[in-house]
Amino acid sequence: MDSIDPDASPKPCAPVVEYMPLEDIEKPERYRPGGYHPISIGDRLSNRYTVVHKLGFGTYSTTWLAKDMNMDKYVAIKIAIAGTDMLESKILNTLALSEPSDEEQPGEALIPQVLDTFSIDGPNGRHQCLVTEPGMMTLAEAKDASYTRLFRMPVAKAIAAQVIQAVAFLHHRGVVHADLHPGNIMFRLPNSIDKLSPGELYQKYGQPNVSPFVRLDGKPLSDGVPTHGVMPIWLGKESELVALSEAKIFVTDFGESFLPSVTQRHSYASCMTSIYIVSKPEN
């Protein structure tokens, strides 16, 4: 056991930087060593992808819409916080390995393909990047955009059938998603979007909505903080407006996924329900 010197002076804590609050944009406090990588519209990544817009953000990553200049198509690039090993790409690559028994599993087509992986170095560290197809919106986003929060019955049935197929395929391959909910089920974008230039994309869906990051103490931003935050683009529609022909989904966000044959999350004992026997009082 380490001993503690009672006379030792406490180490000074890094000062907390506060920023002007912004809605629907990630907190600028997360742009720090070990955190997000600063991205601006127009950035070129891996000498191949031009950032066109933002798709979203989460605790461990930001996701950007980019134009693949080699394939002339739009892609989604998830950029992890610095220093983290992106297990999601390993799971997806494992699922991409064909097996003879997969022919009877239509759910294989409902899992995103890894189009590319690379890493970038920046002021906040080294970041792993995962390239996949972009989605139109999640089920949760479609419901949140709607007054009724309902899908048409044929659309709901089609979605449910595909989710069952996707989960059946994952379990067939020995993978547990571990975080499956409406926010991780995505509608596919029509292929016609790839025909749009970035300018035409902005005409149809709007220019990037950016807001400056401003420190409340009036001091300049540190090197690892971008000058502006970008509000995610809205490519979707309300749930009741989704046509049956558009009810094509894929499952996303495999960051919590695991293979029980390799990684054990729960022991048998921890899953047992405790049984309490209450003795009946004697008369």
Task: Return the pLDDT at 214.
Answer: 97
Evaluate whether residue 22 is within a structural domain: no
Residue stretches of the annotated binding site for ATP: 78
pLDDT in tens, 111-136: 999 999 999 999 999 999 999 999 99
Residue 237 scores a pLDDT above 50:
yes
Evaluate whether residue 129 is within a structural domain: yes
Q: Give the domain range for residue 183.
A: 28-264
What CATH number is given to the structural domain containing 199? 1.10.510.10
Task: Return the pLDDT at 100.
Answer: 75
Evaluate whether residue 283 is within a structural domain: no
Of the pLDDT bands very low, low, confident and very high (cuts 50, 70, 90), residue 86 is confident
Catalytic pick from 179, 194, 217, 223?
179
Evaluate whether residue 14 is within a structural domain: no
Task: Return the pLDDT at 283.
Answer: 53
Phi and psi at residue 175, to the nearest 5°: -115, 135
- What is the enclosing helix (H) or strand (E) of 75? strand 73-80
Q: What is the rounded CA–CA span in Å between residue 274 and residue 96?
A: 40
Evaluate whether residue 239 is within a structural domain: yes
Residue 279 scores a pLDDT above 90:
no
Residue stretches of the annotated binding site: 78
Evaluate whether residue 174 is within a structural domain: yes
Domain count for the chain, please give it.
Answer: 1
Contacts of 119 (CB under 8 A, 6+ apart): 126, 127, 128, 129
Residue 179 annotated in active site: yes
pLDDT in tens, 247-263: 999 999 999 999 898 87
Q: What is the rounded CA–CA span in Å between residue 281 and residue 187?
A: 59
Contacts of 143 (CB under 8 A, 6+ apart): 149, 150, 151, 182, 239
Task: Return the pLDDT at 263.
Answer: 77
Sign of CA dihedral 187, 190, 193, 194: positive
Of the pLDDT bands very low, low, confident and very high (cuts 50, 70, 90), residue 190 is very high
Evaluate whether residue 80 is within a structural domain: yes
Whether the Cβ atoms of residue 237 and residue 155 lie closer than 8 Å to each other:
no
Contacts of 208 (CB under 8 A, 6+ apart): 41, 53, 54, 202, 230, 231, 233
Evaluate whether residue 118 is within a structural domain: yes
Task: Return the pLDDT at 261.
Answer: 83
